[in-house]
Structure 1
Amino acid sequence: MRIAHFSDLHYGAATLEEADRCFGAAIDRAIAEGVEAAVISGDATDHGLDLHEPATRRLCAQVRRLADHCPVLMLQGTFSHEPPGTLAVFGLLGARHPVYVAERIEQVVLMEDGRWLSSTGWRFDLVPAGARALLTCVPTINKAVVAATVGAVEAPQAVGEHLALLLRGFALTNRRARARGVPTIAVSHGTVFGSVSEHGVPMAGFDHEFSTGVLFSAETQAVMLGHIHRHQRWEQEVPEGRQCIAYAGSIGRFHFGEHGDKGFLLWEVTPDGAACELVPTPARRTIDIVFEGRPDLEALREAAASHGIDGAHVRVRWTVADEDRHAVDRAAIARLLAGAAHTKLEGRIVPIVRARAPGISQLTSLADKVQRWADLTGVEPTCVLDCLEALVERAPAEIAEQLLSGSAETHELEPGGPGQQDEVRGR
């Protein structure tokens, strides 16, 4: 079977333009390639959407257009992106072919007449007659439920252990399907240990749902994954054929700094093996220009010319001290990047940090505290101490009168020449 695998569409108010342009182009290509079925492996929406929102209407229209060409299966994704129940409306679209929404752990068969048939329990004991493909569906796991059962500390390990048992339990039905010449596919939404995020960060931790070994243990030929926004794959040859695990990645580029192409996967799945190809979409181009200090306008002009910013989304970052924060000419930067489709300016301000003087609070006199401060900061304290003594011994009016008359005296200076008077004025 030839299957189109889409994932992480993230339709929402802020992402609509990027998501709809890329998903629309992907559907056009999938139809042109003559795919026999389509899978959307989670996070079709970026957040809970109201029915009257433009993003809802556009997503429904695109899924309807896809379902007019072939049967579509949609998997429940991350709860924060797709609150439970969000996808139910897509099963009511009434296109030429049905849209099946997988919201629980189950197996689903695509029948020869184009219908979807789901298992009453978590799996089929026997593969239904007339099956064209068998899909094992494992949507996002609610870790809160697991934590409520086994405790928050044990929850991450418990999720992994139970998923490993679950996927091994699907192997028997998948072997029976393969023996009857039916392609087998697993569809899930989660994180594979050792996968790499769209920003190049390896996903290593105890709270990730899968390992490649656990996914291969279900004995399906293809494993279609969602959640990670970067396309990547793992393959192995076994006596039963070639197994392949792959993330489709996000349909578009929704954040700055994302690595790799964006697109959807075109799968060829047989009872003996699976292979996939990434088909790029017209995702937006993003450019990051980073300055360690204050932005250099000439360097920025050269970077803009070398990268070709016309139509791109450009982010300029810089780091400056707090006293230089107002020296950055944001208007000049915006003028230099006028050809960009969108410009984002991010300045990081390093605050001035003043160290405390250790032990200063234990000193009894103000003069001793000033002396301690001067020692730590490298300041000559004589002038400050003289002024402090004058404040203590003289009335404010007397000090002001002496300063204004230009004949102020201190206990260290006798009335005399102009040089002494200038020194007093300086103090």
Structure 2
Amino acid sequence: MRIAHFSDLHFGTKTLDEADRCFGAAIDRAAELGAEAAVVSGDATDHALDLHSPAAARLVAQVRRLADHCPVLMLQGTYSHEPPGTLAVFRSLGGRHPVHVADRIGQVALLRDGHWRASPAWRFDAVPGDAAALFTCVPTVNKAVVAAACGAADAGQAVGDHVAQLLAGYAPIHREARRAGVPTVGVSHGTVFGCLSEHGVPMAGFDHEFTTGSLFSAHAQAFMLGHIHRHQSWSQRDDAGDQVVAYAGSIGRFHYGEEGDKGFLLWDVNANAARCRLEATPARRTVDIDFAGRPDLEVLRRVLAEQDVAGASVRVRWTVAVEDRDAVDRDSMRSLLKLAADTKLEGRVVSVARSRVEGISGMARIEDKVRAWAAVSQVSAPSMLGCLVSLRESTPEEIARSVLASCGP
């Protein structure tokens, strides 16, 4: 069976253009390549959406277009992105083929007539006789429920342990399906220990839902994952056949600094093996330009001359001391970046921390305190003492006239 695997669509107010353009192109490509079924493995939305919002309207229209081509399975994603109940509307979506919403742990069979049949419990007692493929669905785990049951301190480890037991429990029916010649597919949303984030950071915490071992223990030929925005895969060959676990990654580039291509996975799955390949989408290009201190416009010109930023999203970042924050010429930078599709200027202001002088509070004379402070701060003590004399002996008007005179005409 040929399956198009989409994930992390993130339709939302700010992400609409990127999500709609990339998902639309992916649907066209999946239809062109003859996908027989489609899976959306979570986070179809970026946040809670009103049904009348443009983002919700476009998402519904695109899923309807996909359902006109092939049966669609949509999985519940991260609750902060896809609040419970968000996907319920898709159950009523009209189309040439049905849409199944998997918002609970269970199995669903794609029948030979193109309809979905859900298991009444967490798994089927036996593989349906008219099944063309068997899908095992493990939506986002509600860690709050686990924490309430076993305590917040142990919740992270408990989630991984329980998910591992659950996945191993699916192995017998997956073996039965393999003997019957039925392709088996796992679909879930979460983090695999040791996977890489879209920014190249290894995810090595103890509160992640999966390990590659627990996923392979389900004995499904294909395991389609969502949540991590970077495409990556793992494979294993044993007596369960050729197994592949893979993240599709996000459909588009929603953040600066994301590594790798964006797209969807085209899977070919049979009862004994699976393989997948990434089909790229027209995701936006992002360019990062970093300055250790105040942005140098000449350096920025040279960087822009060396690389093409026309049509790209450009982010310029810098770090300056608090006294230099008003010296950054944002208008000139925007002018230099006028060919970019959009620009983001990020300045980080570092407050200056002054070291306290040991024993300064015990000094009786203010002159001694000034000398001690000047030595630690590496400033001229005579000039500071001169200012102290002026404050003592001159009026504010006299000091102002002296400063103005020293500035020249």
Q: TM-score normalised to the size of structure 1?
A: 0.89
Contact 2:7-2:250 at 8 Å conserved across structures: yes
The question of whether the paired residues in 2 share the 8 Å contact of 1:263 and 1:281 is answered with yes
SS of equivalent residue, structure 1 residue 153: helix
Offset of residue 377 of structure 1: 4.2
SS where residue 177 of structure 1 aligns? helix
User: What residue is the counterpart of 1:158 in the other structure?
Assistant: 158
Q: Secondary structure at the match of 1:154?
A: helix
Cross-structure match for 2:404: none
Moved more, 362-371 or 105-114: 362-371
* Structure 1 position 310 matched with structure 2 position 276: no
- Could you tell me which residue of structure 2 aligns to residue 92 of structure 1? 92
CA–CA separation in structure 1 for the residues paired with 2:36 and 2:205:
37
Query: 1:150 & 1:20 partners in 2: Cα distance?
Result: 41
User: How many residue pairs get matched?
Assistant: 396
Secondary structure of the corresponding residue to residue 309 of structure 1: coil
- The whole-number CA distance in structure 1 between the counterparts of 2:38 and 2:4 is 5
In structure 2, the partner of 1:208 is 208
1:18–1:254 contact (8 Å) kept in structure 2: yes
* Cα-to-partner distance string for 1:70-102 (whole Å, 9 max, x where unaligned): 100000000000000000001111111110000
The Cα of 1:360 is off from its aligned counterpart by: 2.4
Change (3 A) 1:125 1:361: same
Is the partner of 1:44 in helix, strand or coil?
Answer: coil
Q: Which amino acid aligns with 1:187?
A: V
Instruction: Measure, in 2, the Cα distance between the counterparts of 1:371 and 1:279.
Output: 68
> Is contact 2:10-2:44 (8 Å) kept?
yes
Q: Confirm or deny: 8 A CA contact 2:108 2:136 kept in the other structure.
A: yes
Q: Which amino acid aligns with 1:169?
A: G
Computed over aligned residues only, the root mean square deviation of the Cα atoms, in angstroms, reads: 2.1
Alignment of 1:19-34 (within 5 A): 19-34=19-34
Is contact 1:374-1:381 (8 Å) kept? no
Aligned counterpart, 1:167? 167
Q: How far apart, in 1, do the equivalents of 2:388 and 2:250 lie?
A: 68
Mapped pair 1:231 → 2:228? no
Q: CA 1:360 to 1:67, structure 2 compared with 1: closer, same or farther past 3 Å?
A: same
Larger radius of gyration: 1
Aligned to 1:414: none
Give the Cα–Cα distance (whole angstroms) in 2 for the partners of residues 389 and 185 of structure 1. Answer: 82
Q: Give 1:416's aligned residue.
A: none
Deviation at 1:286, TM superposition (A): 0.6
**TM-score for the superposition, normalised by structure 2:** 0.92
Match of 2:298 in 1: 298
Structure 1: gaps spanning 5 or more residues: 405-427
Please state if 1:384 is matched with 2:385. yes
The match for 1:257 is: 257
Q: Distance in 2 between matches of 1:68 and 1:370?
A: 80
Partner Cα distance (1:197, 1:176) in 2: 35
User: What's the counterpart of residue 182 of structure 2?
Assistant: 182
CA 100–304 in structure 1, closer or farther in 2 if over 3 Å, else same: same
Q: CA deviation at 1:289?
A: 1.1
Deviations 1:180-226 (A, max 9, x none): 00000000000000100000000001011100000000000000000
1:123-152 Cα offsets, whole Å, 9 max, x none, are 011111100000000000000100011001
Q: Determine the structure 2 residue equivalent to 1:12.
A: 12
**Alignment partner of 2:298: what SS?**
helix
Q: For the residues of structure 2 that align with 1:102 and 1:80, how far apart are their CA atoms?
A: 17
Report the counterpart of residue 412 of structure 1 in structure 2: none
Matched to 1:233, the amino acid is S
3-state DSSP class of the match of 2:13?
A: coil
